[in-house]
Amino acid sequence: MASIIEVSGLTKRYASGFEALKGVDLSISEGEIFALLGPNGAGKTTMISIICGIARPTGGSVTVAGHDIVRDYRGARSAIGLVPQELSTDQFERVIDTVTFSRGLFGKPRNDAHVEKILRDLSLWDKRHNRILELSGGMKRRVMIAKALSHEPRVLFLDEPTAGVDVELRRDMWKLIGELRQTGVTIILTTHYIEEAEEMADRVGVINRGELVLVEEKTALMKKLGKKTLTVVLAEPIEALPAALSEWDVTLHAEGGEIEYIFDTQAERTGVSSLLRRLGDLGIGYKDLNTRQSSLEDIFVSLVHEEKAA
Ligand SMILES: Nc1ncnc2c1ncn2[C@@H]1O[C@H](COP(=O)(O)OP(=O)(O)OP(=O)(O)O)[C@@H](O)[C@H]1O
């Protein structure tokens, strides 16, 4: 698929001398949902701010829909819709007016049919004459999305779209984002919720201390780094792990009632059958076995830990 955003050798050094981005390269394809993950202070907001023309890069280049974000700021910016984390709209304004006005800010001619479509798509049409302050938190977030979509951008940035919202609203937002992608808009979201990336993204990028430490298709990532945990529920609890099990990456849980074994699903030998044989040899009986796939969260935590350790 054609790329819509090209980030090359991007660096950002703040006036304090702090290097927030250390040479980031990234290419985003048109129509994909890309999730940018990273711990606090990793550089996510800095990167988005630069791509959206809010902060200036110190080095490197970024193009959006072919427009250089510095030399052709207007061209680049008009291809972008940005949904900030904070509500940034006049609370007394009416929904339809704020969305119509946002479109005008980008120099686009008035298009009532487009504004109506957005408001309908976002289930805000019935509320179009309400003032923002009369809306629920979830609706306010939808208004922010409507504003960002008002000028028909090709790329939509969502900065932590579900931070601090309840589970139900989060699911609604995921559904909405899924629907937006059907319209062909490219979506880049930052999130602290790994579950959100797991649910939504086609590709995942992990940024840590100003460096993009990983960019991968979500499914490939989960498969490649995927480990499984085998839980062996013992017939009788044991006090400690016998030394004869030290060849396996096993730990004792549930007050000695369960042994957990983490194994690599891609390995030629997973060690599962030999472990069970050894348990038999040791006279340790078990009454149940189950395995679970490691989540993106396990993968993310181990990545950021490896980085820290290095
Ligand atoms: N204006 C600034 N001057 C100096 N340092 C800054 C400035 N803005 C951000 N930083 C630093 O740059 C680093 C990256 O910040 P950034 O806001 O991009 O992180 P983030 O990944 O978005 O974090 P969070 O998840 O907490 O929002 C942080 O260490 C931050 O303290």
pLDDT digits 0-9 by tens, 200-256: 899 999 898 999 988 989 887 766 666 788 999 999 999 999 999 999 989 999 999
For ligand 1, the distance from its centroid to the CA atom of residue 16, given in whole angstroms, is 12
Domain locations in the chain? 3-223, 227-293
Position of tokens 């991007």?
10
How would residue 303 be classed by pLDDT, with cut points 50, 70 and 90?
low
**14 CB near ligand 1 (under 6 Å):** yes
Is the pLDDT at 302 greater than 70? The verdict is no
Tell how far the Cα of 39 is from the centroid of ligand 1, in angstroms. 11
Match domain 227-293 to its CATH number in 1.10.275.10, 3.40.50.300, 3.30.70.1560, 3.30.360.10: 3.30.70.1560
User: Rounded distance, CA 203 to CA 219, Å?
Assistant: 8
Q: Which of 37-46, 86-95, 133-142, 271-280 has the highest mean pLDDT?
A: 271-280
The answer to whether the pTM exceeds 0.80 is no
Q: What is the CATH number of domain 3-223?
A: 3.40.50.300
Residue identifier of the C-alpha nearest atom 10 of ligand 1:
20
Residue 298: its pLDDT value, please? 66
| Pocket residue to mutate for ligand 1, from 44, 162, 190, 307, most atoms within 8 A of Cβ | 44
Of 47, 94, 2, residue with least CA distance to 212: 47
Any atom of ligand 1 within 6 Å of the Cβ of 153: no
Residue that wins the pLDDT comparison between 295 and 274 = 274
Residues facing residue 28 across a β-bridge: 5
Mutate to test the pocket of ligand 1, among 46, 49, 196 (most ligand atoms within 8 A of CB): 46
Chain-centre distance for alpha carbon 280:
44
Task: State how far the alpha carbon of 65 is from the alpha carbons of 7, 74, 140, 168, 223, in Å.
Answer: 12, 12, 29, 35, 32
